[in-house]
Amino acid sequence: MQIDPEQIKELLNRARVEVRKVIIGQEEVIDKALIAIFTGQHALIEGVPGVAKTLLVRTLAQVLGCDFNRIQFTPDLMPADITGTNVFNLQRNEFTLIPGPVFTTFLLADEINRAPAKTQSALLQAMQERRVSIDRETHVLSANFTVFATQNPVEYEGTYPLPEAQKDRFMLKISMGVPDRESELTLAKRMLGDGSPEATLAAGAVQAVISGDDLEKMRRAMDVITIREDLVAYVVDVVRATRTSETVLVGAGPRATQSLLLGSRANAVINGRDFVTPDDVKAMTEPVLGHRLVLRAEYEIEGVTVNEVIAKILEQVTVPR
């Protein structure tokens, strides 16, 4: 049975309602997270400790109604702790696979940048191909396998910057800031009673509204979302402009172009439309490109930020009418 954009909108609205039972005052963050799920991609969530990054991902897993595993990344975590390993079974006189937490549908990689690059890269094959190799044998993961990785800002103690190749596997980076005063006041009042966000989630108040079958149908329904050829060219020009900017050392690659197209279509659906506009592209440019760009050292010293570079690029590239 085919699913139409109106049904997608209804499912997403129901998902928003369920997530808001736990997460307070993070409307844009919730929408970006749903876009990642909707498009079958992976997302990186960055924010200072205590802004509910982990709680957001746990809530999303509940809303998905899918298998869920969590990896707490630490400096001593080894690649086999993620993928699993073969252990010799004395009773059977053979090696038996002990699957790691990556064998799931929904994976939370918590504080991913607290582990060294070797361990972080253990997720690369799983994220790109949805399969892992253990002792020369390949194992297929769920078709809906999705990684949400949380990280603290790299300026914090005990963090390692993610390799460029790994950051490119994440469709977008979601920056999660502190809530505004009204939202924080609401949170403080809830904490005084028995309605804290953690207690709400633990009590089972959050309902699963999107199944694995729904996800597959939603992704297939993306094909009916209209995106004009001049908008496709606009996306390509924006991404290519990052490679020629004098402030950028490492620009975005072709995978960024694909992610920006997917994100723009999903953003249109999130906003109840079956066609993409230039505003959809602009809204997704920073989340999709921000974590992929590496600025030249001299400009970083001068205080130039990636967001400023992206804004300048958007000003320079001609917007289709």
What is the per-residue DSSP string for 175-199? E-----HHHHHHHHHHHHTT--HHH
More confident residue, 194 or 132: 132
2-6, 82-86, 111-115, 239-243, range with the lowest pLDDT = 2-6
Q: Tokens in use for 27?
A: 């409307």
Other Cβ atoms less than 10 A from the Cβ of 166: the count is 20
Q: What is the mean pLDDT of the chain?
A: 86
Q: How far is CA 273 from CA 2, 7, 168, in A?
A: 18, 12, 28
- The larger pLDDT score, comparing residue 8 to residue 111, is at 111
Give the pLDDT of residue 155.
58
- Percentage of the chain with pLDDT > 90? 30
E-only strand ranges, the chain: 43-46, 68-72, 84-89, 94-99, 106-110, 131-134, 137-140, 146-151, 172-175, 248-250, 294-295
pLDDT band for position 156 (cuts 50, 70, 90): low
216, pLDDT greater than 80? no
pLDDT value at residue 194:
72
For residue 304, with 0-12 CB atoms within 10 Å meaning exposed, 13-18 middle and 19 or more buried, which class applies? middle
1 has pLDDT over 60:
no
pLDDT given for residue 305 in this prediction: 92
CA distances from 7 to 3, 29, 46, 49, 215 (A): 6, 22, 31, 36, 12
State the average pLDDT over residues 105-133: 84
Residues of the chain with CATH 1.10.8.80: 225-321
- Rg for the chain (alpha carbons), in Å? 20
Q: What average pLDDT does the segment 146-170 reach?
A: 79
Q: What is the second-level CATH architecture of the domain 1-219? A: 3-Layer(aba) Sandwich (3.40)
**Above 90 in pLDDT, residue 282?**
yes
Beta strands 294-295 and 248-250, pairing class: antiparallel
72 or 25: whose pLDDT is higher?
72
At 39, is the pLDDT very low, low, confident or very high (cuts 50, 70, 90)?
confident
pLDDT at residue 196 tops 70: yes
Residues of the chain with CATH 3.40.50.300: 1-219
Which is higher by pLDDT, 103 or 191? 103
What local confidence, expressed as pLDDT, does residue 225 receive?
82
Closest CA to 135 of 194, 88, 70: 88
Q: What does the pLDDT average to over 54-82?
A: 87
Rank 63-67, 212-216, 285-289 by mean pLDDT and report only the highest.
285-289
225-321, CATH topology level: Helicase, Ruva Protein; domain 3 (1.10.8)
What per-residue confidence (pLDDT) applies to 298? 93
> Among residues 166, 164, 167, 171, which one has the least CA distance to residue 146?
171
